[in-house]
Each structure stands twice: as C-alpha cells, then as structure tokens.
Structure 1
C-alpha cells in the first residue's frame, strides 16, 4: 500500500510536495482504515484520496508523475521527458526527485530516486526500511560519485556479494534504475537468496499493484471480462441504467487486431505471451497465459495455448433484450468509462488505483454511487483509490473523511501546491463542502473575475 508520495521539479511542481495516505485521528469511517501495528510501526492508512483544484492547477500532473515513475521503474528512462522539469524557474539543471513510502508485508520501505531530466540521466537511487525513527539502508546508488553501497538490512554474505556485483555493474548504466536491473530475469537469484526477495516485492508493487488509469492503451495480465465475470458485469451495467442487458466475448482475427493496435504495442504483447508460455509449459498445473490490452474504447484479450497459437477476443453488448450486438466503440463515453472503472470494484489483489478526472463522462449521480460502492467494499480489502476530479457531490454527501480530501492551488510563481484539507483545522460543525466550494477558505478558492471578463467582452464587441 502507498503511505506517502513526494515529488519535486516535475511539470508544474517546483519545491517538494507531498501526497499522503496517512490517516489522522478523526473517527469518522474508521472501519475502512488499514491499521498496521507490526514491527514497531504504528500507522493507519486511508484507502481513498481525492484531489480537487481549479482547471490547470496541477491535478493531472500528479497522475503524470506517478505514470513517469512507473514507466521508469519497469522499462528504463522514458523518452519525451527532457523538458518536463518546472520551467517557470531556472530549474533545468536542478534534480527532479521522486520518493515513495510503501507498506510491504506490514513493513515500511522508502524508495527514492533523483534524475536530471534535461540530460536524461539518473543521479541517485536509494531504498531503506523505516522502523519508528530508524532508517535501515538496503542499498544506495550514487551516479555522481560512481558509488554503490549495500546497507545493514542484509545479513547474509551471499546476498551482500550478489548486490555488490550487480550494483557495481549498474554504475555504467545511467538510464536504468538498479531496482529495474536487479529484477531482470533474476528468478533463480531470488530463489537461491530469499533475503533479496524484498527487492522483487518492491518492484512488483510498481509493476503490478500500482494501476494508473489513463486514456492510452494499457496491458494487464489480469483480464476482467472473463466468462466467469460476464454475468456479474452484465448485471451491474443493467442496474446502473446503461441499457446493457448482456455482454459477450467474441473471437477476432489476429490480422484485425494487428491493424487496430500500434505495431510495437502488439508485438510486445505477443513477445510476453511466448515468454510466459515457455514458463507455464514446465509447470504441472498448466494455465494458458493471458494478457489484455485496453483503453477508453478498445478491449482485447490475448491467450496463447499449449501449441503457441494466439487467440484474441473482444467484448460486444446487447441492449434491452435485443439480440443485436454492438461493439465497444459504439457505446457512449459514459458506458466506456463505467466499464473502465469496474476493475476497481471487482479487484481482489489489493492494488493502488490512480484515476484522472473520475467524473469525466459520468452523470453526477453515477459518480457518487460509484464512490459509495468503492468505499463500502474498501472496508474489507486493502485496495487504495487516488483520484482527481471536480464532482463536489462526493464531498457534499459527506462520503469522505477530511483526511481523504486534498486541494491543489498555484502560488504566485505558477507552482502547484498540495493542500490537505486537514491543515485548515475546520470546526467539527463546519461543512467541508461549504469550506471547499463556497469560498470559506480563500486560499483554495479559484479566483475568477467575471465582471472584468464581461467588461472585456463588451469592449471587444463594441470595437
């Protein structure tokens, strides 16, 4: 689970800003908190974080920062980020820093790295365990001084020797994080050195537990639209008033899908399937490897069988008990959005989901009903949801704890500033909705001068 995320000098964020999932002392809806008392860590975590703010305040940039870090950790330095530092100041040569505090198997770890975006190089990287006020180092990599240090966390000499070898070799690669390097095809190393599995667990949180829902094409090893799930999903869609009465999987040709998807994306899926099948075939309980490709208006489920033959299916819909089938692209934007969000409700893997503009294309009532369902289900699992949006009904209906609400503003220099609503110490009898949206807290109210706008329009019309 995510505890805290910090970033600096990235997009509209200049000095370090923090997004925290740590719960305060308020008692409201305490049943849906995750409480960790093990290993001397007394910590309570929320399972929801909402981020409000005016247009262009920096909400989407928080999502982009998570996305950048995830891509970096999984695939190496992403392309296209050389000018993504904070450009409203002379920050070109200032490091961009990213830090994650994570709860892994009820222990707290901090993983952090610094990069020079303008030069496309890694500057430093560090992983440590947090126990009360102590910081226990796992490894530290400094590419400025070309040094790699294995910390006191590891006790076995074999583990220390392995890390030292990989760490020293990594000093020649300024585009790939050590966490990425150590997890490349090292299954045997982890089985022979169980003490090192923590490095795999940290990597897997980013690769598999951190799920960022963006309009772009995404791939996943976990299909949602399976034959087992379709009756339930069809029922949910009907109860939500979409008009959909049934959903079906239909086969599509590889040639059709190959033409529909970007070539490199398609080839990467096929390559992963073949590699997964090689491993699956030597197991006693063989299961066909599956990968899904999905976006706002596309969904394909890829399977590979024992003979290495690829099978691809997609979903089609029937409405109002009519037997006519409709493709996903023929459905409304709202229906597509609901289907995209259903994974959060159905997921049982305790993931951290990040969604930009939850309310996009959704009726306000659907948005609040989705939140009610999520928050109710969250009491029984450790899924987390971080979302941005403008839908104020979520706050007006008192669905959230105050420590689940954040507001972003821009300071006079154009930098985005994260404001947890808790810092304003609202009175217990004060409506959070009124404070946020009726101007009670002037610092976070959008400054809109309608009279000046009207005057300017009238002047322009006259001239």
Structure 2
C-alpha cells in the first residue's frame, strides 16, 4: 500500500507537495482503510481531479519514476532522464526530491532520494511507525563516508557478507540508486539478512503497477490461482460489463511468430520466469492490429502464448469468432482492465491509473469503483486514479479524504489539496460545487468575444 508520496521540483511540481493516503478523522466507510500496521492504515482508493495540464499525469509519472529507476537502473555516465520545474530559473539549479512511504510485508517504510540529472545526492530507507523511525541505510554524497550501512551490517555477522555489502555500496555509480544496485548485483544470494531492502524492491516490482490511457504493447502482468479457469474469468467479466460478448476462445500460437517487438517479449519472459516475480501471466496487445495475447508460465517454467478471440452468437445457432480489433474501444478498454481486477482481489497490489474513464461509459466507471469498494473489506489492495469523470465525485461512493484536486498556481506550479481540507457535511453532494469551481481543479475559460481568429457572423 502507498501511505504517502512526496514530490519536489519534478515536472510541473515546484515546491514540496504531499499526496497522502493516510485516513482523516472521518469514521464512515471504515472498510476503505487497510489493516493497521504499527498504528498506520492507508486508504484503499483515491481519485485525483484537475483541469487539463494541471499536473494529474505528472503526479502519476513521478510515482512511476522511482519504480523505473530502481528496476531498470541507469547506465554509467548517462544522465538521469527527467525534467525539473522549468518556469523558475532558480529551480533549474535546485535538486529534485521524491519519497515513498509504503506498507508492505507487515512493515511501514519511508524510501526516498534527492537527485539531479547527473547524480543521486541522497538516498535513504527507514522503517517507520506512527511515533518513531528506525534507520536502515542512508546515503549522502557530501559526507566523508557516503553510505551509512551500520544497521544492515549489524544483522550480518560474517565478514564476507559485510564486505560484499560494502563493496556493493562503493561500486554504486553516482547516477544509480543503491536499491537498483542491490537488485542487479544479486546481493540477496550473497548476504543472509537484507530483508528490508528486498521488501521495498519487491513492492516496486510486484505490488506497484502504473497504467496510462494509451498503454499498448505493454505486458500487464498478473497472477492466477493454479486452478483458475482463465476463459471463465474473461467470459464472466465481459458479461457483467454488458459488452455483448458471449464467450472467449484462446488459440495456441507460436510465441516466436506473434507480431510483438522481440525486446518486449523478452522483458515479459524475464519477468515471468524471474525468481523474484509473483506473476504467472501477461496480457499484451499489438498496436498495429489490436490482437490480444495471453503469455503464460507453464509448470515447467516454459512460456506459451495464446491468441484471445471473442465469441458472438449467430442467429440460427453457432458462434462467430472476432479479433479484438473488431470490438469497440470500450470493450477493448474493459479487456485491458480485467487483469487488474484479478490482481486487485488477490491483494497486496497498488494500481495507479491515468484517465481510466477513456472510452468507458460513466455508469460503468461508477459501478467498477462501487464493485471494488463493496468487496474490498478483507482485501488490502489500492486503486489510485487520475480522472475527469465527475460521477465519481460523491460521498455516497468515496470518503472526503479519498478525493484530491491538482491546481496550478500563478507561477504555473502544480499544487495538491484534498476535499478533507474543506468543511462540508458528510451528506452533501459535492459534484455540482466542484463543476462550479468551489474546490478548484476545473478549467478557466477566456472571453470568447476576444477571439480574433474566428469570423464574426451577424
């Protein structure tokens, strides 16, 4: 679970802004909160509203940034690719900062780093509770001894283990995160007790998933229980969402011959086969012809591919098979979301989705949220969405602390605030006030009479 996310001098965010999923004082909808770990709970959902170009997508890009930097690393001597806040010349010289507070494996952690395009300035990991924090490691390039690993070294008594850890720290490139180095150098295989480091890496690898509205050719990896009938899962879900599809058929195909870029297939195969992955399946689509494939891990750790086709009843009897390209945009979007639904109810997953409502009817979006929230009492998964869909903006569905707004100030910097900041009754409908601009986060239009490029018609 994501407890809190802090961002500073990154894309449209200038000053330090905090996106918090710590529940407020409200007692309603208590099942929207995760189980408490050392006095800390997290909300299971959040919806972020804002006008176009307000910074909603930038918030999501920032959340994804750390994941990419940890899991993919950075080549030696190459710049760290990102953009800081560009509308203030002073900020161009300032470092950027990102911090995640997360809940994973029955512990709470604060992990973050300060950086610029050339190097990591600071990096830290603490185990935290509501009232205290315990240092796991810190890194500061301005100290004589850059890494403080005493807490980890004290748990590993063997000299060779201590030396391996210290060697890994010294070998960490200035543009590389220490956690990325821990992952790529296979420190776990050589040091007996680095559980906290592995837990945090595992959260980024197996819990956090970021999805954009036009995510194509991206393997959406998910896990099925061993006895789950995948055909039944897709058929029931597509029927529930009233797609008009009467069934699903999977056709075995030669994985070497499917028209997906080889580097993407290789990445998916490595992820599924890797001993650190919890996922057993990946759902991918071809951007050229919108064919959908399920890549699965067999019991012998080999990989197989199946082409997904939809079934429609023919008048007079029988079925006709369709490729997904023959279905509507909305049906294909629902198809994209089915693996997400599977993993949500498996638990211990965090989904961050930009513009989830693309191509979907407002009633379907509302029902999907209601579906998740009505059945999430014993499920510790999280659903964070940036959206324009105002039908979700109701206290019948969401708590006040689950509704967030992004606005730009006069300097062009994005700022975050929550509906919890406003004094409103629990039974007040907020959608109308939001559209009227009370909570900000809506576009401000100019005077149409001042448009000189439009011909005047009398």
1:44 aligns with 2:37: no
Contact kept, 8 Å, 2:220 with 2:339, in 1: the verdict is no
Question: 1:315 is matched with which residue?
Answer: 308
Give 2:17's aligned residue: 17
The 1:224–1:457 alpha-carbon spacing in structure 2 relative to 1, beyond 3 Å, is farther
Q: In the alignment, which residue of structure 1 is the partner of 2:400? A: 402
Contact 1:9 1:15 in 2 (8 A): yes
Supply the distance in 1 between the matched residues of 2:163 and 2:137 (Cα, whole angstroms): 9
- Kept in 1, the 8 Å contact 2:207–2:350? The answer is yes
Q: CA deviation at 1:273?
A: 6.1
Deviates most, 22-31 or 82-91: 82-91
SS of 1:73's equivalent in the other structure is helix
1:239 deviates by 2.6
CA change 1:307–1:211 in 2 (3 A) is closer
Matches within 5 A, 1:82-231: 82=81, 84-90=83-89, 91-117=91-117, 119=118, 121-145=119-143, 147-152=146-151, 155-158=154-157, 162=161, 165-172=164-171, 173-184=173-184, 185-189=186-190, 193=192, 195-214=193-212, 215-219=215-219, 222=222, 228-231=229-232
Figure out how many residues of one structure are paired with residues of the other and give that number.
441
Instruction: Give the secondary-structure state (helix, strand or coil) at the position aligned to 1:339.
Output: helix
Deviates more, 1:45-54 or 1:157-166: 157-166
Separation (CA, whole Å) in 1 of partners of 2:398 and 2:70: 32
Q: 1:245 matched to which residue of 2?
A: 246
1:393 CA drift (Å): 0.9
Residues 12 and 218 (structure 1 numbering): CA distance in 2 closer, same or farther, change over 3 Å?
same
Q: Gaps (5+ residues) in structure 1?
A: 281-286
Partner SS state of residue 71, structure 2: helix
Question: Which moves more between the two structures, 12-21 or 172-181?
Answer: 172-181
> SS at 2:92's partner residue?
coil
Aligned to 1:284: none
Q: Deviations over 1:413-432 (max 9, x none)?
A: 11110111111222445432
Higher fraction of helix:
1
* Residues 378-423 of structure 1: per-residue CA shift (max 9 Å, x gap): 2220110000111111124721000100011000111110111111
What TM-score results when the alignment is normalised by the length of structure 1?
Answer: 0.86
Query: Are the structure 2 counterparts of residues 292 and 345 from structure 1 closer, same or farther at C-alpha, using a change threshold of 3 Å?
Result: closer
Quick one: distance in 1 between partners of 2:41 and 2:296?
40
Partners in 2 of 1:50 and 1:159 — Cα distance? Answer: 48
Change over 3 Å in CA distance of 1:418–1:272 after alignment to 2: closer
Gaps of 5+ in 2: none
Of stretches 166-175 and 243-252 in structure 1, the one that deviates more from structure 2 is 166-175
- Structure 2 length as normaliser, TM-score? 0.86
Give the alignment's Cα RMSD to 1 decimal. 3.1
Say if 1:167 and 1:178, in contact at 8 Å, map to a contact too.
no
Partner of 1:266: 265
Please state if 1:456 is matched with 2:451: yes
Deviations 1:112-136 (A, max 9, x none): 012212x3x2222100111333221
Given candidates 306, 317, 342, the residue that maps to 1:346 is 342
